[in-house]
Amino acid sequence: MEWITRERPKIDRLACPWLIRRFIDPGAVITYVPEDRVIEEAEARGATAFDIPGVEYTHYEDRCTFDYFIQKHQLTDPALLAMAPIIRGADTDDHSLAAQASGLWAVSAGLAHNIRDDQELLAQGMVIYDALYSWARHLQSDRHTQSPTEQLLLAVLHTYMDPKNRRKPPDWVLELKSMIQDQIDANLALSLTELAESVDVNPAYVSRTFARYFDDLSFGEYIRKLRIGKAVQLLESTDYTLTEIAYLTGFSDQSHFTRIFKKQMGQIPSAYRKSDKGKIRTKG
């Protein structure tokens, strides 16, 4: 059977083909085409479209397409259920759903950056998701830091990070906040590793302590908060379309922007714009 989706996959459009071939349709043919041709090509080929708006296999509320495949085909493998929030978190930029979500996003984004051919990208994605499945099935309880010395050092670190021991934020925190805001304003890509290196602090340390200094939010949550804040300003002060605002605030597309906006603001952007707050906007 042929399955078809939009080109340049990163998360869902690699994870779903892996799931299809490993658990649903071993001989599946996966085709990638430009987004505006998916429906037309699906009808012409007799293929099943997925991970685009308006088809059965797609996002529902805060669930990604991988979640729907699991639900639709009644897959109950515990390893798949463990993988689902990781994939959902990476695909929706909600890295608070699973500790591994940010890592999966980083690897997937880097893979897509390095490989321009979608079928070659899929082949490498199959290797990644085979590995993630093996971890979920056999290795979840394993830890990299297993020696007594390492555990002691971690215990000391956790004690230092305890909220009771909080002190005045170090200088790098204010510098990092300023850099993040500048990049949000300029709509530049944000990398915690690059930002940490810019303030000459170990990226792993910044990642572990980020929530301590940034409103108890993870890096991804904090960035989304700022992006939604910028979106609110644009909704109130401009007549830009929702697609334009999604682009200007760094979201991958309008549907992603709408999901995150509703999650944080309690209503979709179009409804907010029509509300009393959203009507306080100027022309030009």
The two tokens of residue 146 are 């297993």
The values of phi and psi at residue 17, to 5°, are -60, -35
Of 46-50, 70-74, 209-213, 227-231, give the lowest mean pLDDT range.
209-213
Strand partners of residue 50: 57
- Comparing 64-78, 93-107, 200-214, 230-244, which segment has the lowest mean pLDDT? 200-214
- Beta bridge partners, 4, equal 31, 49
pLDDT tens track for 62-104:
899 999 999 999 999 999 999 999 999 999 888 888 989 999 9
3-state SS of the chain? CEEEEECCCCCHHHHHHHHHHHHHCCCCEEEEECHHHHHHHHHHHCCEEECCCCCCECCECCECHHHHHHHHCCCCCHHHHHHHHHHHHHHHCCHHHCCCHHHHHHHHHHHHHHCCCHHHHHHHHHHHHHHHHHHHHHHCCCCCCCCHHHHHHHHHHHHHHCHHHCCCCCHHHHHHHHHHHHHHHCCCCCCHHHHHHHCCCCHHHHHHHHHHHCCCCCHHHHHHHHHHHHHHHHHHHCCCCHHHHHHHCCCCCHHHHHHHHHHHHCCCHHHHHHCCCCCCCCCC
User: Please, which pLDDT band fits residue 247 given cuts at 50, 70 and 90?
Assistant: confident
Give the span between the Cα atoms of 141 and 138, in whole angstroms. 8
Express each pLDDT in 262-271 by its tens digit: 988 999 999 9
Domains of the chain and CATH, by start = 2-139 (no CATH), 148-216 (no CATH), 221-274 (1.10.10.60)
